Chain A
Amino acid sequence: MNESLFKKLDWLLLPMIGAAAVLLAWHLLAGEKVSIKDADGNVTSEERVGAIAALPNVVETWESSKPYIVEPLAKRGELDQGILRFTWLSLVLVAKGYLIALVLGTPLGFCLGLSKFFTKMADPIIQVLRPVSPLAWLPLGMVLFLGAGRNASELAALFTIAICAMWPTVLNTAVGVRAIPQDYLNVAKVLKLSRWKTLTKVMIPATMPYMFTGFRLSLGIAWLVIVAAEMLTGRPGIGGFLWQQYNALIYEQIILCILTIGIVGFILDRLMSVVERRFKTA
Chain B
Amino acid sequence: MSFLELTNVSKSFGGTCVLKDVNLSIAKGDFAAIVGFSGAGKTTLMNLISGLLKPDTGTVMLDGKPVTGPGPDRGIVFQNYSLLPWLTVFENIALAVDQVFPAWDKEKRREHIERHIAMVNLTPAREKLPAALSGGMRQRVSVARALAMDPQILLLDEPLSALDALTRATLQDEIARIREETHKTVVLITNDPDEGIYLANRIIPLTAGPGATLGPSFTVDIPRPRDRKAINHDNHFKQLRRDVTEFLLSSKHDRHATITKKLLLPDIEPEDLTHPVLPGAGRKRPIRLSDVKEETVQIE
Which A residues contact B (CB, under 8 angstroms)?
Answer: 183-184, 186-187, 189-193, 197, 201-202, 205-206, 208, 281-282
Contact = CB atoms under 8 A, between A and B. Distances in A.
B97 to A, nearest CB: 10
Contacts of B82: 183-184, 186-187
A197 B85 CA distance: 17
- Top 4 closest A-B pairs, CB basis? A183-B82, A281-B86, A189-B70, A205-B86
A190 B71 contact: yes
Interface in B233-278: none
B27 interface: no
A211 B95 CA distance: 23
B86 A190 contact: no
Contacts of B78: 183, 186
B86 A208 contact: yes
Interface string B67-96: 001111010101010101110000000011
A192 B99 contact: yes
A282 B85 CA distance: 5
6 contacts: A184-B82, A186-B76, A187-B82, A189-B52, A191-B100, A191-B149
Nearest to B146: A190
Contacts of A187: 82, 84
Contacts of B69: 189
Give the residue among B80, B95, B100 with the most A Cβ atoms within 10 A.
Answer: B95
Interface string B47-80: 0001010000000000000000111101010101
Nearest to A191: B99
Given A190-B76, A281-B86, 20 more contacts: A183-B80, A184-B84, A186-B52, A186-B70, A186-B76, A186-B78, A187-B82, A187-B84, A189-B52, A189-B70, A190-B50, A190-B52, A192-B71, A193-B99, A201-B84, A205-B84, A205-B86, A206-B86, A281-B131, A282-B131
Contacts of B85: 281-282
Contacts of A186: 52, 70, 76, 78, 82
Contacts of A206: 84, 86
Interface string B186-230: 000000000000000000000000000000000000000000000
Give the residue among A184, A187, A193 with the most B Cβ atoms within 10 A.
Answer: A187
B3 to A, nearest CB: 19
B224 to A, nearest CB: 29
B144 to A, nearest CB: 14
A201 B94 CA distance: 12
Nearest to A197: B99
B222 to A, nearest CB: 32
B129 interface: yes
B83 to A, nearest CB: 8
B95 A191 contact: yes
Contacts of A208: 86
Interface in B123-170: 129, 131, 149
A191 B50 CA distance: 11
B72 A192 contact: yes
A189 B80 CA distance: 16
A120 B99 CA distance: 35
Nearest to A192: B71
Contacts of B86: 205-206, 208, 281-282
B58 to A, nearest CB: 21
A201 B86 CA distance: 10
A1 to B, nearest CB: 40
A208 B82 CA distance: 18
Contacts of A190: 50, 52, 70-72, 74, 76
Contact of B96 (A189, A191, A281, A282): A191
Contacts of B84: 184, 187, 201-202, 205-206
A93 B131 CA distance: 40
Nearest to B76: A190
Contacts of A205: 84, 86
A161 B72 CA distance: 47
A7 B85 CA distance: 38
A197 B99 CA distance: 10
A190 B85 CA distance: 17
B65 to A, nearest CB: 15
A184 B95 CA distance: 12
Contacts of B52: 186, 189-190
Give the residue among A186, A187, A190 with the most B Cβ atoms within 10 A.
Answer: A190
B68 to A, nearest CB: 12
Contacts of A197: 99
A191 B72 contact: yes
Interface in B8-26: none
A201 B74 contact: no
Give the residue among A191, A197, A201 with the most B Cβ atoms within 10 A.
Answer: A191
B265 to A, nearest CB: 42
Contacts of B72: 190-192
B161 to A, nearest CB: 15
Nearest to A187: B82
B76 A201 contact: no
Give the residue among B50, B76, B99 with the most A Cβ atoms within 10 A.
Answer: B99
Contacts of B99: 191-193, 197
